[in-house]
Every structure is written in structure tokens, then in C-alpha cells.
Structure 1
Amino acid sequence: MTDTSYNKPLPLMEGLTKAFYDFCAQGELRFQRCTDCGAWRHVPREICAECSSFNWEWAQSSGRGTVYTWTVVERALHPAFGSSAPYAPVVVELEGGVRLLTQLSDVPPSELKIGMPVTVDFKAVTPEITLPYFKRA
């Protein structure tokens, strides 16, 4: 379901970033994986930080991970987030090691715990953009 009231900044839909969000719109969480050394990476880029290879694929993630860290924003720095405060940007560490900055859709900041198991929860925020949020597993 698309939230037509979404008024927060959105990713630029171009290049490798667009490819990442196109997969999200299909209900797939995919990250780049080097086909030479097997290293996963995010944010998408052309070259592997581990072995400097230009060979990679879009590999599907299980969408399962754990809360790695978070912070609670009491006073938003961007006006579009003002009515959402307090909120907690969360870093989720996914199976495979990729870390993704996101939000949990069903956990208030006071209930967050390091190591909490989570799973991807896609939210279509505009007709073109689906964001990967997470929820308790």
C-alpha cells in the first residue's frame, strides 16, 4: 500500500541507487556481491572495497538481521522529520554482513535492544519508491 502523505526526503532514482530501489519495489532486498572475492557491499558502487574488482552481481538477501546500533532523535534537524520525533534511526546488520541504516516499523525506541532479530518490511512511500524498513522477527 502506498502512503500518499509521505513528505520526507527521498533517494535520487538514478544509476545503481535506482537499481537497489527497483528491487525493493519488487519486494526483494538485494545488495551487490563481488563475484571475485564474495564480499557484500552497500551503498552500491562499481568497485569492490575488499579486492578492487569491478566484477559483481545483485545478490538477494534473506532480509533477516539484527539490530547493530541506533540513536534516538528527540529533535529533528530536518523539518520533514519534526512530527516523527522522537524516532530511532537503526543500523541493521544483515546475514552476510551488510549494514543498512533504516527504521523499525513496529518497535518504539524504548524497546530497542542490540542483537534484536529483525526482518525486512517493505513500505511503498510513493508510487515509484519502496523503502526497506524492518520489523521484529
Structure 2
Amino acid sequence: MLSPVIDTDGAPFWRYAARGELRVQACADCGEVRFPPRPCCPHCQSFASQWRAVSGRGRVWSYVVPHPPLLPGYAEQAPYNVVVVELEDAPRIRLVGNLVSGAGAPLDSVDSDRIRIGARVQAVFCDGLPQWVLERP
């Protein structure tokens, strides 16, 4: 597994994720949420921000199933899925991750035939990295 590159603006996201919490940056003045994290609000230009907890529920907005050739760290796991998830309680926020059968499961643990645009998912965490599981009906 590749580790995320952590910059100053995004460091709080990863600290919360390491604790199993999904939070997104929000403007402390106008309340707009934003991702990726950045120092200035694109809506009101305020530099005041806070980190808002979100439920971790969302829906698959898009996905892809990469096949080799890939980066060496991923080629042996391919094919696997990469999903873009639109958050239920912050629909303008979309996060990229993998759909897995459970926290820490292999990247290919969900058959790509089961993935559908609009499928309901829930965030889980493995080693501080958000992943996604299908919600049960």
C-alpha cells in the first residue's frame, strides 16, 4: 500500500482518519465545506477553517477498475477498483478510495461486477486510510 503525501493543509484530515474519524474542512465564517483542504475558502476568501465530522455514508459517484501495467506496488493486486464517493452529508465533497469487503481487506476483495454507480457505501478505516464498504439493504 502506498502512503499518502501529507501536506500542512491536509494533515488534520489524516490525523482524524488515523483515529477512525472522517472529517472535512469547512470555512469557519461562511460554513462551506471543501476538499481537498486548502488555506483559503474559495467562496468567501476567509482563512478561518474548522474540521467538521461527517457520517462516512455516501454513494458511489464513479469508479474505475485499473489493469496492469501499474505502479509496482499495485500491479500484483490488479485488477482492483478505485471509487469516487460523494458524501451523503456533504454532497459537494467527493473522496477517492477503494471499495473493500471489510476494513483492511485486499483491494480486490469486492468483485467489480458488484459495483454500481449510486450504490450506498460507508467509510471504514485501515491503518489510517479511509476505505469503503457496501451498505447492507
- Pick the TM interval, shorter chain: 0.7 to 0.9
> In structure 2, which of residues 48, 64, 75 is the aligned counterpart of residue 71 of structure 1?
64
Residue 35 of structure 1 and its aligned partner are, at CA, apart by: 2.1
Cα distance per residue 1:66-106 (max 9 Å; x no partner):
00001110114211101111111100000212100110112
Larger RCO, structure (CA 8 Å, separation 6 or more): 1
TM-score, normalised to structure 2's length? Answer: 0.85
Runs of 4+ residues over 3 Å off in structure 1 = none
CA distance in 2, matches of 1:74, 1:12: 23
Quote the sequence identity (%): 38
Alpha carbons 1:120, 1:133 under 8 Å: kept: yes
Please tell me the residue identity of whatever aligns with 2:112: P
When the two structures are superposed, what TM-score results if normalisation uses the length of structure 1?
0.85
Unaligned segments of structure 2, at least 5 residues:
102-109
Deviations 1:1-51 (A, max 9, x none): xxxxxxx32113442322211101111101101122221111111111222
Pairs within 5 Å for 1:47-66: 47-66=40-59
CA RMSD of aligned residues (A): 1.3
Q: Which runs of 5+ in 1 are unaligned?
A: 1-7, 125-129
